[in-house]
Amino acid sequence: MIYTFNIDDSTEKGKAILYFLKSFGMLEKGNPDIDIPNWQKEEVKRSIEELEKSPQSGIDFDQSMDELASKYFT
């Protein structure tokens, strides 16, 4: 499975995420020639709209990273 993220590397949290991903060899440079399917763009748009309507439905980033690390890297 491949995930694509936009990470703001001008913040400390962004730098930490990039460091974490690099340390596990999980980071590859993006390919701007990849065609993102419309259904995926629509799903992202829907998710953002839902989060804007109901911010409490979001998942805490730090908690999510901890859960992913414990699930896949321990």
Give the CB-side neighbour count of residue 25, counting CA atoms within 13 A: 1
Question: Residue 43 has what pLDDT?
Answer: 92
* Residues 28-38 pLDDT 10s: 666 666 778 89
Provide the pLDDT for residue 29: 64
pLDDT tens digits along 1-57: 677 778 888 888 888 888 888 877 777 666 666 778 899 989 989 988 988 899 888
| Coil, helix or strand at residue 48 | helix
Check residue 33 and give its pLDDT. 66
Tokens representing 38 are 């419309």
